Chains A and B, each alone.
Chain A
Amino acid sequence: MIEINHLVKNYGSKFAVDDVSFKVGEGEIVGFLGPNGAGKSTTMNILTGYLSSTSGEAKVGGIDILENPYEAKKLIGFLPEQPPLYIDMTVQEYLNFVYDIKACKLNREKHLEEIRKVTKIDDVKNRLIRNLSKGYRQRVGIAQALVGNPPVIIFDEPTVGLDPKQIIEIRNLIRSLGKNHTVVLSTHILSEVQSVCDRIIIINEGKIIADEKTENITQAVDQNRRYNVKISGPQREVLAVLGAIPGVTSVELTGERELDSYVYRLETERGVDVRKPLFYAMAEKNWPILGLEAVGMNLEEVFVRITERAGN
């Protein structure tokens, strides 16, 4: 459905996108993951025809976006990084305008109402966008991308500015859209792509550094395990005992404490589960474990891991 071949976009000597190629099949949900300034937005802007590329091609539904922008744009619903809202309009007026500009053929009332229901903005339909909160504006932006039921939907950081409950709702919405749309979304939050996408493309400094199924990336990320464990007991001795557990590569104090208990950060070898030995070791000494949590990796660490793996 989407095909990008050797896409390059440079501003003088600065390469915003540097030889990026990938394909997205029909009904796939693909996550575009990368830090700020990695080239996610630029790629999406090129794909939607807002920017042109320096070289390379971008096709949507087999139609080249530069050669036949008019037809290609009909297939795309796009939510840019900053939702393109006319703040002097009410939500309903705005969606009506989008409906007109996209030359939509569906039943106007029914279609727009459906979209408002799905994005949960029906209750604010008569309010000026100017007066809406960031979360509502974001959802109006999402609603705008859905008008006309385009087969390809592109979301640039769709959950920015939403509260946790709304984030979950939007993720569910994206998952349900994936059933009969092709969805590409960008984010810099790892857990977001893990929970929504079938496939993850990691991009950094304009280059794709990984393009894999979500499970594979999750596996790569989970191989090194770290835990924060809160233990009630004499600090120095606990440190010594923890360090002696087979599989533990390092122990350090995180600095958090509660009365006589401290939080220790454990790093463990790949493929070794230290949780049971940890429990028995502490039980033997009569030091109760008050808390144990696995610590996820942040995006930078994921990059290091993925690039390391790519190097091997």
Chain B
Amino acid sequence: MLAIYKKEMRTYFTTPLGYVFIAVFLAVSGFVFAFSTFQTQTSDVSGYFQLMIFGYIVIIPLLTMRSFAEERRTRTEQLLMTSPVTIPAMVFAKFLAAFTMFAGTVLLSCVYYLPLFGYGEPNVGRAVGCLIAMLLLGMCFIAVGIFVSTLTESTVTASIGTMTILLVFVVAAIFNNLIDSYVIRSVLSWISVYSRYVNFTYGIFDIAAAVYYVSITAVFLFLAIRVYERRRYA
């Protein structure tokens, strides 16, 4: 598993993909950060995080679109699948590599907070809460991306597919407020990853939400594993 993880990390940095991801992420988050704090003259960063979720819809697929689709296209998956590596280990290694890239970049973007201290008194607790929420949310999104990537051998299809699912996830929360039917609302709230992080923005570590995010991640990774196991029988 470690071998695949190392290989994935290498690939991010020996191809333009990793650099593109970091650059796009920092550019988007820098812009959104400046826009939501300095421009509106507030040191509260929760607005920044809220906006960034929409950015993730586009940015996260950059990380995950290649992971399995490319292996399948170039037939290198044949090497992985005929080597003594289990399928869960393979999926998890790829997930972990994408998450490392994501978390690393998120932490890198934390330098944006520093200037805030010069202008006001930012609430560190709330910022850390938001940060944790972002990492959990990103983890979910990455799992979705990994899953979609196992379904196709085209990276373009993988990225568009991932964006679509993520969009549904995020938009579900918005529609949720507009719908009267209790049944539809409760179904939507299941998949509404967006609305669950609210407590984090108050600096409260919401165990229930954290468990929810971890479960969603587990479900999609499990689905990815199933796709691979299933494909051997196809």
Q: Does B181 contact A (CB under 8 A)?
A: no
Interface size on B, residues (CB 8 A): 24
Taking a contact as CB atoms under 8 Å apart, the answer to whether B232 and A73 are in contact is no
Tell me the nearest residue of chain A to B70, going by C-beta: A86
Q: Mark B177-200, 1 if CB is under 8 A from A, else 0.
A: 000000000000000000000000
Q: How far is the CA of A51 from the CA of B15 in the complex (A)?
A: 30
- Chain A residue contacts of B10, Cβ below 8 A: 89, 93
Find the residue from A48, A50, A80, A84 having the highest chain B CB count within 10 A.
A84
- Chain A residue contacts of B82, Cβ below 8 A: 48-50, 73, 76, 78, 80
Q: Does B79 contact A (CB under 8 A)?
A: yes
Taking a contact as CB atoms closer than 8 A, the residue among A50, A71, A144 that contacts B81 in the complex is A50
Tell me the nearest residue of chain A to B232, going by C-beta: A52
- Chain A residue contacts of B83, Cβ below 8 A: 73, 98, 101-102
- Chain A residue contacts of B2, Cβ below 8 A: 100
Q: Does A279 contact B (CB under 8 A)?
A: no
Find the residue from B11, B74, B75, B83 having the highest chain A CB count within 10 A.
B83
Q: Does B226 contact A (CB under 8 A)?
A: no
Q: How far is the CA of A179 from the CA of B10 in the complex (A)?
A: 38
**Shortest distance between the CB of B47 and any CB in chain A (Å):** 40
Tell me the nearest residue of chain A to B77, going by C-beta: A84
Q: Does B40 contact A (CB under 8 A)?
A: no
Query: A73-87: which have CB < 8 Å to B?
Result: 73-74, 76, 78, 80, 82, 84-87
Q: How far is the CA of A78 from the CA of B82 in the complex (A)?
A: 7
Tell me the nearest residue of chain A to B14, going by C-beta: A88
Tell me the nearest residue of chain B to A85, going by C-beta: B76
Taking a contact as CB atoms under 8 Å apart, the answer to whether A101 and B86 are in contact is no
Q: Mark A92-129, 1 if CB is under 8 A from B, else 0.
A: 01000110111100000000000000000000000000
Q: Does A22 contact B (CB under 8 A)?
A: no
Which residues of B are interface residues toward A (Cβ below 8 A)? Answer: 2-4, 6-7, 10-11, 14-15, 74-86, 232-233
- 18 more contacts with CB within 8 A, not counting A71-B84, A101-B84, are A49-B82, A52-B232, A52-B233, A69-B86, A73-B83, A78-B82, A82-B78, A84-B75, A85-B76, A86-B74, A87-B74, A89-B14, A97-B3, A97-B7, A100-B6, A101-B3, A101-B80, A102-B83
Would you give 5 A-B contacts (Cβ < 8 Å), ordered by A? A50-B81, A51-B232, A97-B6, A101-B3, A101-B84
The 3 A-B residue pairs with the shortest CB-CB distance in the complex, in nearest-first order = A100-B3, A84-B79, A48-B82
Which residues of A are interface residues toward B (Cβ below 8 A)? Answer: 45, 48-52, 69-71, 73-74, 76, 78, 80, 82, 84-89, 93, 97-98, 100-103, 144
